[in-house]
């Protein structure tokens, strides 16, 4: 239900690098080759230069490549690719043109083409930090974290001040299970730029993943203070708040995530969980219904909504949801335990025993399933079997007062007989 770590954006390079030379001191070239103009201004300026620079292949290549940058910024991917291709045709050794075309291919999800373009840009300029960074992003997106780490490391060597490369290398290291190295990279990114919200966000998310919720909360507070319009930031902070037992502020954060991104299904799911914890069952059911509407094959959402319906006493609706959850995900242990509990409430003990048994087959140390099955054995007079299950449940959970009391009752009955 949670989203992935934010990978910092593909990069083009600083303004002088766009043209690989100092731009001419006139407004059109400053707008075409610089990085301060809007996308529309870049396109207009570069278009004018293309008309003025006919016959000058090197200048035309820069004009087309930078117009490709503007086209990409406007979401005009096909036009950007065409301009980058024209730049490459005019100047086959122009690494920036390959880099921008690779970025647009990445935007389109064409990873192989993107990697090919970035690789050729790197071939032309082995210390091209932008292309190394961008290729690392493509490797990360494909789960090729060894290659991603290698590229980010080369990008850092080429430009040691690249905080984004430290952040993304940290993410890749995290995926490899190298937690300490990941933390060091996030810290380095923050040392380079103490006002980089994504560095704090990614370190906070990482700390959430390793259950360091207080540290995560501190980082996410800082991320949101620096950038208050990110649904991802509020979601992650809500997650930390929730794990710290703070359901009310968690709900506030998930609600803000939904305001910023109404399609954020995970925020509805997590908010629904906390509404349930607070006993606000109608709101919980509404959020989970929204999740199911958007993701009709989400077994976990059916399971939790089934739990909500059970707590409300709406057992028919609970059964329907738990049936659906199990049909979608037959190994969903908690759904069998919950359905067994509903069946037990309805006095359908044999069917309940079957569900509890299936849960135990899937997870032998599930104390709730053992206790539920023991209760059914008691209800059907199978006290020896009940005794064995209560004993096992108590062994797994020494704080289980119910199982302890039932064992004491059964032992007293046995002593009375003898």
Instruction: Give pLDDT, residue 19.
Output: 42
210-216 contacts at long range (C-beta below 8 A, 24 or more positions apart):
210/179, 211/243, 213/240, 213/243, 213/244, 214/244, 216/240
Q: What is the pLDDT of residue 404?
A: 96
Q: Give the CA-trace dihedral at 90, 96, 101, 102, to 10 degrees.
A: 140
CA dist 140 and 173 (Å) reads 10
CATH number, position 50: 1.25.40.10
What is the pLDDT confidence band of residue 36, given thresholds at 50, 70 and 90? confident
Domain for residue 208, yes or no?
no
What pLDDT sits at residue 276? 98
What is the DSSP track for 280-291? -HHHHHHHHHHH
Question: pLDDT value at position 210?
Answer: 92
As a whole number of angstroms, the distance between CA 68 and CA 45 comes to 12
Q: What is the pLDDT of residue 413?
A: 87
Q: How many CB atoms lie within 10 A of CB 406?
A: 23
Report residue 59 as tokens. 């200048």
Residue 21 φ/ψ region, left for φ over 0, alpha for ψ in the -120 to 50 degree band, beta for the rest: beta
The answer to whether residue 114 is domain-embedded is: yes
Helices (H), 313-366: 315-328, 333-345, 349-362
Confidence class for position 240, pLDDT limits 50, 70, 90: very high
- Amino acid 27: pLDDT: 82
The pLDDT score that the predictor gives to residue 122 is 98
Classify residue 71: in a domain, yes or no: yes
* Residue-level length of the chain: 418
Of 324, 253, 312, 316, the closest CA to residue 286 belongs to: 312
Per-residue pLDDT averaged across 345-350, rounded?
97
3-state class percentages of the chain: helix first, strand second, coil last, to nearest 5: 75, 0, 25
Token duo for residue 286: 């509404």
Q: How far apart are CA 109 and CA 141, in angstroms?
A: 10
pLDDT number for residue 30: 86
Model confidence pLDDT, tens digit, residues 72-117: 999 999 999 999 999 999 999 999 999 999 999 999 999 999 999 9
* pLDDT over 70 (residue 9): no
Closest C-alpha to 70, from 35, 116, 109, 99: 35
Helix (H, G, I), strand (E, B) or coil at 332: coil
The pair of three-digit structure tokens given for residue 96, joined into one six-digit string: 């920036």
Q: How many domains is the chain built from? A: 1
Residue 4 has pLDDT above 80, yes or no: no
Is residue 195 a part of any domain in this protein?
no
Picking from 20, 73, 26, 74, the residue whose alpha carbon sits closest to that of residue 49 is 26
Cβ distance 317 to 292 under 8 Å?
no
Q: How many CB atoms lie within 10 A of CB 297?
A: 10
Q: What is the dihedral of CA 371, 376, 381, 385, to 10 degrees?
A: -40
| Block residue for tokens 């050794």 | 93
Report yes or no on 63 lying in a domain. yes
Would 2 be classed as within a structural domain?
Answer: yes
pLDDT above 90: residue 29:
no
For 49, the enclosing helix (H) or strand (E) is helix 39-52
In this prediction, residue 8 carries a pLDDT of 55
Q: Provide the pLDDT for residue 7.
A: 53
Q: What is the DSSP letter of 36?
A: S
Q: What is the pLDDT of residue 22?
A: 47
pLDDT of residue 10: 64
- Mean pLDDT within 405-409: 95
Tens of pLDDT, residues 372-393 = 999 999 999 999 999 999 999 9
Residue 95 lies in a domain: yes
Is 191 a residue whose pLDDT tops 90?
A: yes
For 211-237, the pLDDT digits (tens) are 999 999 999 999 999 999 999 999 999
Q: What pLDDT shows up at residue 414?
A: 83
| Whole-Å CA distances, 179 to 182, 190, 200, 222, 396 | 5, 17, 16, 21, 31
Structural domain containing residue 57: 1-125
Is residue 37 very low, low, confident or very high in pLDDT (cuts 50, 70, 90)? confident
Residue 370: its pLDDT value, please?
Answer: 98
Q: Has residue 217 been placed in a domain?
A: no
Mean pLDDT of the region 387-405: 96
Q: Tokens in use for 66?
A: 């930078």
Are 60 and 53 contacting, i.e. CB atoms less than 8 angstroms apart?
Answer: yes
In angstroms, the Cα distances linking 344 to 149, 306, 356 are: 53, 15, 10
Alpha-carbon distance of 271 to 47, in angstroms, equals 50
Mean model confidence pLDDT for the chain: 93
Instruction: Give residue 126's pLDDT band: very low, low, confident or very high (50, 70, 90).
Output: very high
Q: Taking residues 158-168, what's their average pLDDT?
A: 96
């Amino acid at each position: 239900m949670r989203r992935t770590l934010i990978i910092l954006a593909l990069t083009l390079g600083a303004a002088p690098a766009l043209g690989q030379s100092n731009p001419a001191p006139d407004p059109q070239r400053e707008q075409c080759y610089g990085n301060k103009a809007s996308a529309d201004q870049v396109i207009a300026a570069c278009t004018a230069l293309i008309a003025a620079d006919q016959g000058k292949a090197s200048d035309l290549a820069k004009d087309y490549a930078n117009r490709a940058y503007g086209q990409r910024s406007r979401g005009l991917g096909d036009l950007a690719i065409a301009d980058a291709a024209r730049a490459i045709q005019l100047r086959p050794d122009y690494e920036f043109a390959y880099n921008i075309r690779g970025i647009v291919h990445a935007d389109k999800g064409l990873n192989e083409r993107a990697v090919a373009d970035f690789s050729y840009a790197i071939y032309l300029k082995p210390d091209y930090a932008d292309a190394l960074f961008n290729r690392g992003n493509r490797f990360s997106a494909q789960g090729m974290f060894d290659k991603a780490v290698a590229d980010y490391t080369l990008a850092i060597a080429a430009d040691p001040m690249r905080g984004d490369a430290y952040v993304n290398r940290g993410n890749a290291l995290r995926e490899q299970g190298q937690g300490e190295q990941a933390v060091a990279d996030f810290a380095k990114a923050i040392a380079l730029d103490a006002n980089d919200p994504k560095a704090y966000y990614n370190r906070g998310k990482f700390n959430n993943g390793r259950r360091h919720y207080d540290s995560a909360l501190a980082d996410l507070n800082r991320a949101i203070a620096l950038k208050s319009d990110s649904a991802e930031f509020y979601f992650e902070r809500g997650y930390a708040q929730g794990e710290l037992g703070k359901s009310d502020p968690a709900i506030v954060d998930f609600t803000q995530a939904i305001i910023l991104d109404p399609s954020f299904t995970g925020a509805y799911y997590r908010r629904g969980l906390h509404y349930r914890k607070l006993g606000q069952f109608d709101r919980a059911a509404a959020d989970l219904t929204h999740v199911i509407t958007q993701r009709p094959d989400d077994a976990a959402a059916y399971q939790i909504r089934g739990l909500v319906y059970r707590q409300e006493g709406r057992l028919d609706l609970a059964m329907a949801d738990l049936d659906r959850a199990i049909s979608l995900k037959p190994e969903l242990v908690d759904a069998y335990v919950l359905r067994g509990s509903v069946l037990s409430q309805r006095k359908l003990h044999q069917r309940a025993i079957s569900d509890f048994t299936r849960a135990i087959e899937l997870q032998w140390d599930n104390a709730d399933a053992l206790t539920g099955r023991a209760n059914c054995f008691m209800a059907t007079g199978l006290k020896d079997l009940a005794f064995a299950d209560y004993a096992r449940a108590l062994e797994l959970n020494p704080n289980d007062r119910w199982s302890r009391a039932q064992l004491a009752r059964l032992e007293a009955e046995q002593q009375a007989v003898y």
